Amino acid sequence: MNLSTTIAGVTFPSCFMNAAGALCVTREELEALGRSAAGAIVTKSMTIEARHGNPEPRYYGFSGGSINSMGLPNLGYRAYAELIPQLKRFGKPVIASVAGLTEDDFPTIAELINVAQPDLIEVNLSCPNIPGKPQIGYDPDASERVLKKVRPKITVPMGVKLPPYFDPAHHQVMGTMLGRCGVDFLNLINSVGNGLVVDPERETVVIKPKGGFGGLGGRLIKPVALANVRAFYKFFGERMPIIGTGGVIDGGDAFEHFLCGASAVQVGTVLVEEGLDAFQRLEAELGAVLHRKGYRSIQDCRGRLKEL
């Protein structure tokens, strides 16, 4: 069964990869991804300076999903610029995820990271867990300013990681804007921001930052992720590769993302909960689904979701 895929002209040996934030902060974690069955190495979303992130506990898994408020812990962009050439020895694509605490941070980070020549650069406009910092991805004007500053700094394919949108008008506005900015691929979606999980026995929230509010991930957000993948696939058609992120716990979940129009999928919650062996399990499960359905590759089923 062929589980390889291509995004913006870059070939991935497997359609499964880590989501930025999941076991990808340190050199050791990134090298472990390189040795794993993952189809790529995706870095943590990086900022100008190194960050310890929010106070702990800042991640909590529960039945059906997870909540986190990590606060972008990362090594800082200079450290990742040094690491990227070393990570390429593993023979799989490296995706550098670029973040920023201000609009001007993005082009500064992108310019140096581009020199390190990752295979793709993902501009993260959607981190929901920085206290006092709104998600740029919910402001189309700010998003366009950032992308137009970043695009000239990047010579490799540039993608954008977006937050979930909940109205067709938002898909239309953002799709139109992205079409003006030279975007090569989309990553949909980041965690669903500002959820709250309560421990009724202790009568407390379950994470410390922001009074317990955090980004939701895991299976409970799959319908939202699928809706965004489908909406943007219908907007752009075949000309915009999409990485589906959100709710991929087993191979069947990945198959649903491909039906909706994704070209690859990223995993977060299942990777944190299960570890790197999850990639082999997911590949086997997806392969079994495709075989049962009579498909020989993910390209054969991409975007073939039927409407009633």
CA distances (Å), origin 50, targets 124, 129, 168, 177, 249 = 17, 16, 37, 31, 31
Catalytic residue among 15, 24, 127, 260: 127
How far apart, in whole angstroms, are the C-alpha atoms of residue 154 and residue 113?
Answer: 9
Contact 29, 178 (CB under 8 A): no
How far apart, in whole angstroms, are the C-alpha atoms of residue 216 and residue 99?
Answer: 19
Kindly report the number of other CB atoms within 10 A of residue 263's CB atom. Answer: 26
How far apart, in whole angstroms, are the C-alpha atoms of residue 70 and residue 72?
Answer: 6
Task: Specify whether 127 is catalytic.
Answer: yes
How far apart, in whole angstroms, are the C-alpha atoms of residue 159 and residue 137?
Answer: 13
How far apart, in whole angstroms, are the C-alpha atoms of residue 39 and residue 45?
Answer: 18
String of DSSP letters for 104-167: THHHHHHHHHHHT--SEEEEE-----STT---GGG-HHHHHHHHHHHGGG--S-EEEEE----S
**By CB neighbour count within 10 A (0-12 exposed, 13-18 middle, 19+ buried), where does 149 fall?**
middle
Torsion of CA 53, 273, 256, 163, to 10 degrees: -10
3-state secondary structure of 225: helix
Q: Which residues are catalytic?
A: 127
